[in-house]
Amino acid sequence: MTEGTASSATPELAPSEATIASAHQTAGPYWHLVDFPEWADTTRHFADALPDGAERITVSGTLRDGNGDLVTDAMVEIWHADPAGRYPDQNGDPTAFQGYGRCATDKGGRFRFVTLKPGPVPVGPHSQGNAMQAPHIALAVFARGLLQHLSTRLYFEGEALNAADPVLKAVPEARRGTLLAKPARPGEWTLDLRLQGEGETVWMAV
Amino acid sequence: MSEVVHGYRRPNEAHQPPLNSPAYGSTRARHPQQPLLELPHTLTETSSPIFTPARYPEVADLTVLENGAGHAMGERIIVAGRLTDEDGRPVRHAMVEVWQANAAGRYNHEGDQHDAPLDPNFRGMGRVFTDEDGWYRYLTIRPGAYPWRNHHNAWRPNHIHYSLFGQGFAQRMITQMYFPGDPLLPLDPIFNTVSDEAARNRLVSRFDLDITRPEHALGYRFDIVLRGREATPMEENHHD
């Protein structure tokens, strides 16, 4: 760092200002200055030596607004567990697989990730048995016009655990399809997202 | 069997912007109309990617290009601050990404058609990591104001975009840092979407003489608070 690391000369935070989370603001239309297209491939560090039991998949779809128009300036992020259903330990190996990706929607309103299919995920750190969640991917959408990012989850159609998943079960059946990705071909999962209006995605307060 | 997940505190609505904000025209066709589904926090929300400078190299000086040739035009500033959670605990080793317009109010982006000069020596983006006490710091150029088409004679106040990760994906956030005394702030529909005045003003950096470096650059202090953990853990609900 040109300016050196943080200065100890700077005063401590006043306690009154340290207690309430800062407000979100929109990412705006020019967030692509922090777009790194390689981040859309979470397997980029692994070449052909994938973790045991891993299945490389693609996850893609389009994003539309309330008028049905394609959203071509959005940033989509994914976050999900590894094929064994594990998340990285913050004190663990930083080179282990991580299911984090970022992708810009293109001129066709389309996002596309290359990643590994996640395994079933425990609800909490010590969950057992039926406290497993169906395999899923957290999705976050940032864009001009979104003052806070929108969050949802992608599930995989046909997974046996879907029927018992606590989040899916909380979604009215008529809208559950907005969360279920379908295989266009084996290993190529697609899910279209709708910000508003007909077929609106079930967005979640996280 | 019952066990607990330490979820994150739910936001106070007056402290966060609403998704539907008519004064900011772009929200019109982009805000959900259905109520959001309240998601219980599970390991998916309480875990987070690990970012390291080895894989995500730091860019702590936006005023020079990688090859060091040439310096960006404009008023050089140092921005420093502390990333904490709602309990006042430092968020350590967090990745902080920033991006902004140049001194003339122009983004190096194909979508920005504002008739102001690009600066070939300005990087426009930075990436730094917080230290053990949550401090971050970078050197940049004070961004210029620029027009946008939200309404007649609309200008964005000077601002720097921030993207932040905490220790749980539920803490993920993007925000903007503003500058003290900017006459455009009271007129800006985006800044004013935050209805609580104190919460709004926490997005305004402060001039700081301790951060200022003599004969070099003015310093601005901008602290950011991420969500804290629930005081009472949530019961996991898995009786079926």
Domain membership flag for residue A19: no
The pairing of beta strand B95-100 with beta strand A204-205: unpaired
Residue B121 at interface with chain A, using a CB cutoff of 8 Å? no
At B58-108, the pLDDT tens digits run 999 999 998 878 899 999 999 999 999 999 999 999 999 999 999 999 999
CA gap B79, B142 in Å, rounded: 10
Residue A11 within any structural domain of the chain: no
Tokens linked to B98 = 């920033």
For A30, the closest of B34, B107, B190 (CB atoms) is B107
pLDDT at residue A18 in the model:
54
Question: Looking at the domain assignment, is residue A172 inside a domain?
Answer: yes
Q: What pLDDT score does B37 carry?
A: 97
B109 is catalytic: no
A157 part of contact set with chain B, CB < 8 Å: no
Interchain contact, A19 vs B131, CB within 8 Å: no
Specify the pLDDT at position A84.
94
Average pLDDT, whole number, for chain B? Answer: 93
Q: What is the per-residue pLDDT for A50?
A: 86
Instruction: Please give the average per-residue pLDDT across B156-167, as a whole number.
Output: 97
Distance in Å, alpha carbon of B16 to nearest chain A alpha carbon: 5
Q: Is B114 on the interface with A (CB under 8 A)?
A: no
| Chain A residues lying within 8 Å of B130, measured CB to CB | 6
Distance CA B152, CA A121 (A): 50
Mutation target for A interface from B9, B15, B47: give the one with most A CBs within 10 A. B47
| Nearest-by-Cβ selection for B30 from A3, A127, A196 | A196
- Over 80: is that where the pLDDT of B238 sits? no
C-alpha to C-alpha distance for B231 and A6, rounded to whole angstroms: 30
- Examine residue A83 and state whether it is found in any structural domain, yes or no: yes
Q: What is the CATH number of the domain that holds A190?
A: 2.60.130.10
Q: CB of A80 within 8 Å of any CB in chain B? A: yes
Residues B108, A33: C-beta atoms closer than 8 Å? yes
A13/B contact by beta carbon, under 8 A: yes
**8 Å CB contact between B126 and B138:** yes
Domains and CATH numbers, chain B: 4-18+41-235 (2.60.130.10)
CA distances from B214 to A152, B3, B133, B220 (A): 48, 55, 25, 14
pLDDT at B169 exceeding the cut of 60: yes
Residue A2 lies in a domain: no
Containing structural domain, residue A70:
25-194
ipTM confidence: 0.95
Is A136 inside any structural domain? Answer: yes
On whether residue A12 sits in a domain, the answer given is: no
With a cut of 70, which residues of chain A have pLDDT below it? 1-18, 126-130
Identify all chain B residues contacting A6, using CB atoms and an 8 Å cutoff. 80, 82, 130-131, 133, 135-137
Count of domains forming chain A: 1
Residues of B in contact with A149 (CB under 8 A): 172-174
Q: Tell whether A127 is covered by a domain.
A: yes
SS3 A177: helix
Cβ distance of A25 and B50 shorter than 8 Å: no
Average pLDDT (B2-18) is 84
Residue B48 one-letter amino acid: S
pLDDT band at B153 (very low <50, low <70, confident <90, very high): very high
Decide: A30 and B99 in contact? Cβ < 8 Å: yes
Instruction: Look at residue A8 in the predicted model and tell me its pLDDT.
Output: 43
For residues B25-44, b (16+ Cβ closer than 10 Å) or e, as one string?
bbbebbbbeeeebebbbbbb
Say what the pLDDT of residue A1 is: 37
